[in-house]
Chain A
Amino acid sequence: MTTLETSEADGQIFTGNVQLVHAVGMHARPAVKLTKLAKKFQAQIFVRVTGAAEWINAKSVAKIMAMRAAHGSMIEIKASGSDAEAAVVALVDLVATDFPDRAS
Chain B
Amino acid sequence: MQEGAATTAYRGRTASIGFAHGPLVRVDQAANAERVAGTLVDEALALRSAIDGASRQIAELAAIAGGEAAQILEFQVALLEDEDFIAAIFASIGEGKPADAVWRSALDAQIADYNSTLDEYLKARSSDLADLRERVLNVLRGGEGQPLKIPGGAVVCAEDLPPSRFLEIDWSAGGGLALLRGSPTSHVAMLARARGIPMVVQLGVIPDSGATALLDGEGATLELDPSAERVRLFEKRRELHRKSRASARAILRKPTASWRGERIKLHINIQGVQDLEHADAQYADGVGLMRTEFLLADHGLPDEETQFQTYDAVLRWADRRPVTIRTFDAGGDKPVPGFTPDGEANPFLGVRGLRLCLARPEIFAVQLRALARAAVRGNLKVMFPMVTSAEELEAGRKLFTEVVQDLQTKGIAAMLPELGIMVEVPAAALAIASFKAAFFSIGSNDLAQYVLACDRSNGALASLMDPLHPAVLELIARTAEHGRRAGAGVSLCGDMASDPRCVSALLNCGLRELSVNVSTLAQIKQTIDRLSSGGSLD
- Report A's interface with B, CB cutoff 8 A: 24-25, 27-29, 31-32, 35-36, 57, 59-63, 65-66, 68
Contacts and interface: CB of A to CB of B under 8 A. Distances in A.
Contacts of A63: 82, 84-85
Greatest chain A CB density within 10 A among B75, B78, B79 is at: B78
A25 B113 CA distance: 17
Contact of B82 (A28, A61, A68): A61
Contacts of B75: 28-29, 31-32, 61
Interface of B: 71-72, 74-75, 78-79, 81-85, 110, 113-114, 117, 119, 121-122, 125, 128
A68 B117 contact: yes
Contacts of B81: 61
Given A35-B78, A68-B117, A62 B110 contact: yes
Nearest to A57: B84
A28 B125 contact: yes
A62 B79 contact: yes
Greatest chain B CB density within 10 A among A25, A61, A66, A68 is at: A61
Given A28-B75, A28-B128, A29-B71, A35 B113 contact: no
A28 B72 CA distance: 8
Contact of A32 (B78, B114, B117): B78
A60 B125 contact: no
A27 B114 CA distance: 11
Given A28-B75, A29-B75, A60 B84 contact: yes
B133 to A, nearest CB: 13
A32 B114 CA distance: 16
Contacts of A31: 75, 78
B83 A27 contact: no
A60 B82 contact: yes
Top 9 A-B pairs, shortest CB-CB distance: A60-B84, A62-B85, A61-B78, A28-B75, A32-B78, A61-B82, A24-B121, A60-B82, A62-B82
A23 to B, nearest CB: 10
Contacts of B71: 29
B79 A61 contact: yes
Contact of A27 (B74, B78, B85, B122): B122
Contacts of B125: 27-28, 65
A65 B129 CA distance: 12
B121 A32 contact: no
B105 to A, nearest CB: 14
A60 B121 contact: no
10 contacts: A27-B121, A27-B122, A31-B78, A35-B78, A59-B83, A61-B79, A62-B82, A62-B110, A63-B82, A63-B85
A60 B82 CA distance: 5
Contacts of B72: 28
Greatest chain B CB density within 10 A among A27, A62, A63, A66 is at: A62
A36 B125 CA distance: 19
